[in-house]
A and B are shown apart, each in its own frame.
Chain A
Amino acid sequence: MSGTTVIPERVETQKPQKGWAGQSVPRKEDKRLVQGEGVFVDDIKRHGMGYIFFVRSPYAHAHITSIDVSKAEAIKGVYGTLTGEEVAALTDPFFQLSTPPGAHLKDYALAVGKVRYVGEAVVAVVAETRELARDASELVEVEYEPLPPVTDARRAEDPEAPILHEDSGSNLMWEGVYEWGDLDAAFAEADRVVKIKELHFHRFNSTPLETNGALVEYNRGTGQWTIHTNNQFPGFAAIMMGPAIRCGLDKLRFVTQDIGGGFGNKITSHPQLVVCCLLARKLNRPVQWTEWRTDFHLSMSHGNERWFHDTEVAVKEDGTLLGFRTCALDDAGAWLRYEPLGGVIWAQVTPGMYRWRNIRLEFTQVATNKAPVSPNRGYSRMQHLWFTERVIDIVAHELGLDPVEVRKRNYVRAEDMPYETPNGCVYDSGDYAQMLDVALDLIGWSGAEERRRDAAVRGKLLGVGIGSTLDSGTNNFGQARMINPELQFSGNNEVATVKLDIFGEIVVTLGTTPQGQGHETTAAQIVADILQCSVDDVHVRAGHDSYWNSHAGFSGTYASQFAVTGLSAVKSATEMLAAEIKKLASAIFGGVPVEALELAEGSVRIKDNPEVALPFMACGAIINANNAGLPEDLDVTLNCRYVYRPPFQVPDIERKFGNLTLTYAAQVHAAVVEIDPETGYYEIVDYAAVDDCGKRINPQIVEGQVMGATAQALGAAMHEVFEYDEDGNLLTPNFYDYHVPHALDMPPLRTGNIESPSPFTPLGTKGMGEGGGAGIHAVCAAIQDALRGHGDAIVYDSCNPYHRVWDMLQHPERTRELVEVVQA
């Protein structure tokens, strides 16, 4: 692990700096976390609480013929149970985003009448202790009548395929055709057409170390639930849960605390939260649920598995890419949870990083008897960007061109920015070619051939590969209307409140739900810069609490947006506060004009006469406790709430055209692999990651996100997969079989960055937390490069464990069959 970039210098927090933004300020969160004093949801206890254990389906597809909970309920210490039948009586099915036929499916918090994937929750048992709930769950008797399952998305629409949702009558959950430019002209102009029969992006997710969980209390008097949870998008959970439970959203109070990683996998826990709510009310006691690791793997938020069939790429002899068409088949699993939004979210980055203008993509999403798919880091864009990177490499490979040159020839150029893509998304800024050069330099590209020879002497096949990717951030939720024109969503928002308390304390409340991104710290940096105080003087509350109205409909931490939505809300709320402080001082100083005042060193003072100053503490005290005699028209509260709203329009639904995300961070990675041709075993021996997320508020935090995304991508590239057998059993239901990277697995890492500020955001920042999976793209490219001249296999799958590399070495013809190059 040598060779990392120099970590930007740490900054003293005692004395105010010229600017806190741009400095690697030590994190406020760390002090409690390194002492084990963070509060995670399973740490919270309530007197008399009951622990939930879910009885889950052992079948991928079956009718439920009977459920008998009597033996379980008879056990002393068991407080009660909940079945699908009760859920169906007490709640309405969850709101569906899709159009018919997908829209007709009835999604309840527990399985009703049928189970549709192994691990689906059927009955909830609540008991005095965790062990007792588990014991009692074994006494719940569920009778099933098994049905044949659908486990291959490619077979889901066969005429004889078993249908998961009778209400839909089909396994087709959603489909749409996206086409822009002039495909016919593009293919007419092409010198060659590269055809790729099938590419496959595999099913995995980010397996945050803390699983989902909640502790739910019900107040009978007010009818309000308090939901302590680690759900990372409470706004979405509320919208899904309220109508289902038949209560107003104000009855659902979401309180988050420290969250042990989210990566999108803590967005769709609303079914389990509904179960908790119903039980808390039914049993008149707090109810606690912590997801077991196995439960998480079996049932929670798998990433989209996507096939790309019958791809055709129009290309000129010199490697200029004119366009492509493809058929994307998305495996949604058994239920649509946040889907089919994934069916359009890839459109934020339709052309990837490339300038081709003529694109057609037929998108089909089907249901299968697997765990439901929901957001995962890089949600839906990662799959699409992997596809574009595979196309680049395969085209380069087949045409005998250098993949670096093909990229440079086709990348969107810095001078093109802001760049409108064929479907109207506006890439705000960036210089991909420069990033590529930095990555190549870091990886020692010029010495690659010598390295290859040296590896060959040691009996190894060396390959170098590039993976470039975008992290589109700050969604325009209007894109939902391209899935379903009836969906009344558009735009986005985030809230911050900043107040000056009685003793001059600056208190910030965020609508966000950070899971390690350091929001308390970066928010404090923005505030401190505006109020000209120390970050130590700014207290940012940990977590999100919807009770106190510091949130809006889209509040949460997801989709690479905090640096834009959250921090912009903080900025504006603080600017409001700064203006109010000056207004108050103006009044107190006897009418001095506001322009003559400045904020400095924790006070407001007259610029030309700095001894005339009012410390913040005095301001807070006056407004809160000593306000007699203030001018009647002085509208100062020192408690400022701001809702940031990014500048979006509702997209053109007909043309599927419009700006779908506000910012487009980029990453370019390079990987060097060495393959043992005798076994297919390989190692990543060198790695470089270059990122551009515009203005970096806290460089160390940004770099941490790049590293984390890289590690997860490498794990997914090499080992991590949610693989099912033909009966629908998940073969990797825990960390024993599902191998994530450990410390010894990490390659040496070199990082670099450039900063292309976004012209569209108040701070010039771009969201960047997801990353875009560049590691997967790079490793695939590196493996294909290593196999060049040793069979020339095509890397067709995003996951390449040793056995697949072995297969590609042994039977390259099987993968070569997937590719055909024809003269146009």
Chain B
Amino acid sequence: MSAVSSSKTIAVTINDTVYEREVEARKLLIHFIRDDLDFTGSHIGCDTGNCGACSVIVDGVLVKSCMMLAVQADGATIETVEGLAEGGELTALQQSFSDHHALQCGYCTPGMLMSATALLRTNPNPTDDQIKKALQGNICRCTGYWNIFEAVKAATADMA
């Protein structure tokens, strides 16, 4: 019989490092990532699961971490924006975002990058519509999305 409890010790792998913490069951994964583990690259922009600023990859799947509990990530492998670049070397996507001025304030950018990263992993040659669909869950108020789209599209050509 599985335990029913208001807190749990969880072990979560984030960007290749394992973190073990005790958390309340009610704690949202995004708060755990940001407040408990200091990975402040993922952001919060709303309170209804609409904006996507909190998007991370959990066990290979793109999710909005504001709609998962931290306890649900016990044993999971999580990738956040901080884990994309290796040794300060930007990924083709990150570079493409800069090249195409796909970010202004940068607040939505981590979420956008995770969504685009997830897309290109499973679909390295997406159609225009597939790109837009992949970004649909990420709100941006600065750019109007056009440059973000161009950045992702250009990155697919780079990676082709």
Q: Which residues of A contact B (CB under 8 A)?
A: 1-2, 4, 7, 10, 24, 26-27, 29-40, 42-43, 45, 130-131, 206-211, 258-261, 263, 290, 292-294, 515-518, 700-701, 703-705, 707-708, 710-712, 734-736, 740-744, 746, 749
Contacts and interface: CB of A to CB of B under 8 A. Distances in A.
A744 B101 contact: no
A45 B140 CA distance: 26
B41 interface: yes
13 contacts: A1-B145, A2-B128, A26-B99, A30-B103, A35-B94, A37-B82, A40-B43, A42-B34, A43-B34, A209-B43, A515-B105, A704-B143, A704-B147
Contacts of B113: 34
Interface in B74-111: 80-82, 84-85, 90, 94, 97-101, 103-110
Contact of A710 (B34, B38, B144): B144
B48 A736 contact: yes
B128 A734 contact: no
Given A37-B82, A209-B107, A749-B144, 10 more contacts: A27-B101, A45-B38, A131-B27, A208-B107, A260-B43, A260-B105, A260-B108, A703-B101, A734-B48, A743-B131
A516 B146 contact: no
Contact of A208 (B80, B85, B141, B149): B141
B87 to A, nearest CB: 11
Contacts of B104: 261, 516-518, 704-705, 708
Contacts of A35: 41, 81-82, 84-85, 90, 94
A29 B144 CA distance: 19
A10 B82 CA distance: 26
B8 interface: no
B40 interface: yes
A40 B107 contact: yes
Nearest to B100: A7
Interface in B33-55: 34-35, 38-48, 50-51, 53
Contacts of B38: 45
A27 B98 CA distance: 7
Contact of A36 (B41, B44, B45, B144): B41
B93 to A, nearest CB: 8
Nearest to A258: B106
B26 interface: yes
A293 B128 CA distance: 31
A207 B150 CA distance: 24
Most chain A CB inside 10 Å of its own CB: which residue of B80, B142, B146: B142
Contact of A742 (B34, B48, B97, B136): B136
A774 to B, nearest CB: 13
A712 B141 contact: yes
B136 A744 contact: yes
B50 A735 contact: yes
Contacts of B98: 26-27, 30-31, 34
B43 A210 contact: yes
A746 B144 contact: yes
Contacts of A2: 128
A34 B149 contact: no
The binding surface of chain B is classed by DSSP as loop
B148 interface: yes
Contact of B40 (A10, A43, A206): A43
Contacts of A701: 101
Contact of B45 (A24, A210, A259): A210
A42 B53 CA distance: 14
A517 B132 CA distance: 24
A704 B24 contact: no
Contacts of B46: 293, 734-735
Contact of A30 (B39, B97, B149): B97
A749 B149 CA distance: 12
Contacts, number: 196
Contacts of A707: 143-144, 146-147
A206 B139 CA distance: 12
B106 A744 contact: no
B139 to A, nearest CB: 6
A293 B45 contact: yes
B138 interface: yes
A700 to B, nearest CB: 5
A95 to B, nearest CB: 30
A10 B99 contact: yes
B121 interface: no
Contacts of A32: 106
B107 to A, nearest CB: 3
Contacts of B106: 29-30, 32-34, 38, 258, 260, 516
A-B interface, 8 closest residue pairs, ranked by CB to CB distance from nearest: A36-B41, A260-B107, A711-B144, A33-B106, A516-B105, A516-B104, A36-B81, A43-B40
A27 B50 CA distance: 29
Contact of A209 (B34, B94, B141, B146): B141
Contact of A708 (B81, B109, B137, B143): B143
Contacts of A4: 146, 150
A640 B32 CA distance: 45
A26 B95 CA distance: 10
Contacts of A29: 106
Contacts of A42: 34, 40, 43-44
Contacts of B70: none
B135 interface: yes
A700 B151 CA distance: 13
A517 B105 CA distance: 7
Contacts of A743: 131-133, 135-136, 138, 145, 148-149
A742 B149 CA distance: 12
Nearest to A260: B107
Contacts of A260: 43, 45, 105-108
A328 B84 CA distance: 53
A209 B51 contact: yes
A734 B66 CA distance: 15
Interface in B113-160: 113, 128, 131-133, 135-150
A704 B80 contact: no
Contacts of B90: 31, 34-35
Given A7-B101, A26-B99, A744 B133 contact: yes
Contacts of A210: 43, 45, 105, 107
Contacts of A293: 45-48, 51
A735 B139 contact: yes
B97 A131 contact: no
Contacts of B82: 35-37
Contacts of B100: 7
Given A735-B48, A735-B51, A742-B136, A36 B40 contact: yes
Contacts of A517: 104
A265 to B, nearest CB: 10
Contacts of B139: 209, 735, 740, 742
